[in-house]
Chains A and B, each alone.
Chain A
Amino acid sequence: MTTPLLSVKNLTVDFHTQEGVTRAVNNISFDIPAGKTVGIVGESGSGKSVTSLAVMGLLQKPAGKVESGQILFNGNDLLLNNEDQMRKIRGNEISMIFQEPMTSLNPVFKVGAQIAEVLTIHKNMNKKQAWDRAVDLMNQVGIPSPAQSAHKYPHEMSGGQKQRVMIAMAIANEPKLLIADEPTTALDVTIQKQVIELMMNLQQQYKMSMMFITHDLGVIGDLADDVVVMYRSNIVEQNHVKSIYEGAKHPYTKGLLACRPNLGANPRRLLTVSDFMNEEGKELVVPAERLTVYDKELIPSHQGEGTLLEIKNLTTNFPIKGGLFGRTIDHVHAVNDVSFKIQKGKTFGLVGESGCGKTTLGRTILRLIEPSAGNIIYNGQDITNIYGEELRLLRRKMQIIFQDPYSSLNPRMTVGEILAEPLIIHGIGNSKAARLDMAKELMDKVGLKVMHLNRYPHEFSGGQRQRICIARALMLRPEFVVCDESVSALDVSIQAQVLNLLLDLQDEFKLTYIFISHDLSVVNFISDEVAVMYGGKIVEMGAASKIYQNPSMEYTKSLLSAIPKGQPKHF
């Protein structure tokens, strides 16, 4: 057997902070053979990114420290290299792509110059040669009209294009190993598919090895040869991708595979990691009724009971200001002549790529953004033009759960204060104690510990914060809730728990949802009816099962085909 390109042996990394020592990576070993792709899968905080940073020699100093182990690259231990030697390797023999294309490019330089810079540093090219090579690379990564695009600045490109530029930079020096840290997590599903296909082609063309880090086992199926599953700083399972998909051994891996909703029928509630193992990591037997898939239309509780919300020809424009005095010179039609009805107690899914107007539509319905034309009829009442006290009273009925659990909670308020605030605004509850009792009741319902009432948001994880947001939205006992990408920022394993929670709460409180997402499989799982949005218009609408089985529009078909199938690439 030939020696692998990269071999991590018994690696242990600790982080030394003022609060004490945290073990980020605990005695892990894995190999990346030449020309192969290894996927590293795990939830946030499992140590997968720390592992990649250790390989690059980019651990945050002095906090992060390799306690023991070896990282052999071509037989040489990278941990013994000094900073100068590492700099020659980084960007040259090992290069890296980061998660966030929006912040990984320098906004004041042309993208062509940023790619050329990598070449002038490591390959001693002159400016002209480097620029020509940069244009050539941009062509290879599929950026349209590369000679012109090289003169663009990062803000003139879309997220997918920026990620392509990052890939061009990473492969510029034909590295032997490419480390990709969640390169597609920030992208829409169609763009994600294109980027993954691009990376597979480039890997074969350049005969690179690849370390692909993700929280989503579904993404890796198309791409990886081997999979390493990390959980709480340890490797719990590693195997060929085929063996993992067909017969995962560790309960955590089984949970990860099961928690992603698929496009066909799903169980009533998604399986989560906690169905497969308990807190101590002991394997559990999943009860048979949890595995039964069901047909949504046969569930009596999901039969509609009349129309709750009707949208008629709704249009929302944003003015484009220009000229010397900031006059309005034109309008963007963010939402353009949209009409639909939502039945009581049902979930209406809105899917589309970023910029299609789905978020604007959700906020216009709640009157957080003013509509330009059309009508919003809620429970028989036209709410398009109500203001003041009437609108404030309506807010009790209609609520929203935002996407980003980090920015949607005020960092200076405790959970108790956050949950009590809607009650104070609407004069519910006689005393502080009474309001806190109501807050405690909902905390319990959304699966938070009541004793955490006096904690601040920064002390919670992303999933817990989203539960706080859900509790806040439900404090006023609304009838109607807009979930705006409410699970998109969460790891798949947490996403399943939150989706289950939303369904439980829908049953308990008889809620009607608009569920906005770019993730078609999530929308399929949770929605009764689905509308596909493109360019501010609804292009296709109907029962979820119908749209997914027989899409009539080309756009819907392309969205559906972009979903990672979660299948290994060869059987």
Chain B
Amino acid sequence: MNFAFTEEQDQLRDAVRRFMETKSDEKEVRRLMETAEGYDPELWAQMANELGLQSLHIPEAYGGQGFTFIELGIVLEEMGRALLCSPYFSTVGLATNAILNAGTEEQKSALLPGIAAGETIAALAFTEPNGRWDASGITMEAKGSGDAVTLDGTKMYVIDGHIANTIVVVARQAGSSGEDGIGFYVVDGDAAGLTRTALTTMDQTRKQAKLEFAGVKATSLGDSDTGWTALSKTLDQAAVCLANEMVGGAQKVLEMSVEYAKVRVQFGRPIGSFQAIKHKCADMLLEVESAKSAAYYAAWAAAEDNDELPVVASLAKAYCSDAYFHATAENIQIHGGIGFTWEHPAHLYFKRAKSSEILLGDATYHRELLAQRIGI
């Protein structure tokens, strides 16, 4: 039994933290969140070339480094801490896993090396205007099979869909319902008949797009009608990734709160000496440490790809969603008026926490999923 990171994993964390501190400081986050694209292409290339981040958990056979979800979790945690504006989660956390879970050998060999090299940005177009995260939310129909598929309909809330070069679309066979007939389809970002609209997001640090398909030609990724198993697994893996990302932001706002509570003086003493504030910070620590335990354990289960994954993925997503949001809300409260201003970074984390909570299904959704998965 050993629940700790290895020395090499600690070194990876240090390297990514240093990189983020110089490349994604608050000024840079604010600059990028005001842009339509929402990321820096140069930084995207550096992430691939200098640190190999995009290729981390892609198997070596497809141009990757063959690390696991534990290393991926570490990287995402550091990105969450820095509020990095980047299509990393969409490309690596969502689309790459979809391709790995659903694609044929040939397709993986064709699609993954570009992602690993930082040349491809990829998105997973799953949700629709109904905003649902379960199988029944998928209504878009795919006509045809193999490399002669046509897609019509609308995908919404697609993370980084406006800048992706490759889009993995989830659609269903005509006449199917529920978990039957779900399939993955690959479309180029600039395909004919595809209209992409960048949406204005409440959390400006993570961009979303609306994708309208009008007779778009697509290729089936793997089997065109048995995709639910692969999609469900992809969503579990993505939930684990997101839980780790959220933990990074939660730890950061805890540090902000504690630092401020030590220096802000009212009634002649630091506000952190009052139990009202001290106890808030103590509760934040409890929740942040517990969120870490859940996210790290879930990353291990994803790395092992064992039977525990569905349960611990929902468990981690539910707990980390609540813990992150609570920490960012308390951070504003502890900062008082200054925490409510645009100038202070507290709102950036608060908004990221809320958008991450909702992304992939909120805590209530995952607790219900968990209840089903443990047989309640």
A and B are interacting partners: no
Binding site for A on B (CB under 8 A): none
